[in-house]
Amino acid sequence: MGSPIQTALYAAHLRLGARMTVFAGFAMPLSYSGIIEEHRAVRTAAGLFDLSHMGEFEVSGPHAVELLERALTNSAARLAQGRAQYTLMCAEDGGVIDDLIVYRIGAERYLLCVNASNLTTDREWLTALNSARADRAEFRDLSDETALIAVQGPNAAQILSALTSFAIGKVPYFGLAEGKIADVACLAARTGYTGEDGFELFVAAPLAERLFAALLEKGAPLGLKPCGLGARDTLRLEAALPLYGHELDRATSPLEAGLGGFVRFGRGFVGESALLAQQKNGPGKRLVGLLTDDGRTIARQNYRILSGEREIGVVTSGTFAPTLERPIAMGYIGAAEPHAPGVKIEVEVRGKAVPATITALPFYRRPRRTA
């Protein structure tokens, strides 16, 4: 196995004293000043993330939307230019191959942002679907030439506005605009994975370090801190956002994951027949939130969920939630099991059944602005 891939910001992470880790084959910052401090910076001010391990595909040409309508559960045909949508890619049996965001960047141009761990699988899947068509879309893998930087938190728009050549604060949620930020050409999307307002900035890889440094300098007086994957995970879990390999995988459907709102039937996408049958007959499992009753024990991935002596499910993600100042977890239980908030269950932790309670998701929802 080769050395981890270094993103365009690898040297910057080392200069900032980041604690590094390997994720999906990439050398990535786990944390800088500490996960809890970085997490709280995003909730109260802003955090700066390197997401350059993510993959980017461009699908273009007169048959682009036809390929996307076949490949994705959500309808790219409904997507206006300058807007983005969350969607999933399924196998014929309805299992999730990946979840992703699609950006319509032109009349016949779409950008797909996919998970790093699934980049090769996604590329091969889309290429095979495209090759099977008489009228093919143009497909390009832009991952190696593209860096992705995220500014997330309530101060994100204010920080970027001071550096931006366009009215970035007017970009709507799940909207996008192109222009210069700190004199660097970017595609700026008002999307994110933290449960907060913020932007994800697609930039040519050689220019990423200049942009990253400018954002840190301008944002520091407004509380901007560099953040690693550790805080990104605690933030997304508080917001109950799924992570592939945890809440999503080939053995799980979008309906089981509570993502039915991102499935548009009647288009003939791959996996539609299986999902229609599941919609009719009911899912095999349900995603629920869990709180251990003692407020101290963390229910971690793969811990068994119990009802008395009976195993009824499994934990998919669990951590200490800095905003709530207590452990939280998500997991799947059998669809026939009681699953309403307040239902009492147990989680097996090191051979001991720890009392827990099912709770509504998400655990955290950002406050509405009053201004």
Using one digit for the tens of pLDDT, what is the confidence trace for 234-244? 999 999 999 99
Higher-confidence position of 370 and 314: 314
In this model, does residue 176 exceed pLDDT 70?
yes
Q: Does the pLDDT of residue 153 top 60, yes or no?
A: yes
Each residue of 6-50: pLDDT tens digit? 999 999 999 999 999 999 999 999 999 999 999 999 999 999 999
- Position 368 scores a pLDDT of 77
Sorting pLDDT into bands at 50, 70 and 90, what band is 79? very high
Q: Is the pLDDT of residue 370 over 60?
A: no
Do 215 and 200 meet the contact criterion of CB atoms below 8 Å apart?
no
> Which residue in this structure is represented by tokens 């391990």?
53
- Answer CATH for 284-359 from 3.40.50.300, 2.40.30.110, 2.40.50.360, 3.30.70.1070: 2.40.30.110
Please report the pLDDT score of residue 342 as a whole number.
Answer: 98
The mean of the pLDDT values for the chain is: 97
Structure tokens at 217: 């300098």
Its pTM stands at 0.96
Mean pLDDT on 208-223:
98
Whole-number Å distance between alpha carbons of 24 and 340: 35
The pLDDT score that the predictor gives to residue 371 is 40
Return left, alpha or beta for 158; rule: phi > 0 is left, psi -120 to 50 is alpha, else beta: alpha
- Listed in order, strand segments (DSSP E) in the chain are 5-6, 19-23, 26-31, 46-50, 55-60, 84-90, 96-106, 109-114, 138-141, 146-152, 176-181, 184-189, 198-204, 224-227, 285-292, 304-307, 310-321, 326-334, 344-349, 352-359
For residues 167 and 222, is the Cβ–Cβ distance under 8 A? no
- The answer on pLDDT for 77 being more than 50 is yes
Residue 1 scores a pLDDT above 90: no
**For residues 149-155, average pLDDT:** 98
pLDDT value at position 2?
A: 80
pLDDT given at position 369: 63
What is the phi-psi region of residue 198: left when phi exceeds 0, alpha when psi lies from -120 to 50, beta otherwise?
left
Alpha helices in 45-133, H assignment, sequence order:
64-71, 119-131
Which residues, other chains included, contact 95 with Cβ-Cβ below 8 Å and sequence gap of 6+? Answer: 249, 250, 251, 252, 253, 271
CA 333 → CA 75, 91, 134, 249, 330, distances in Å? 29, 22, 43, 16, 10
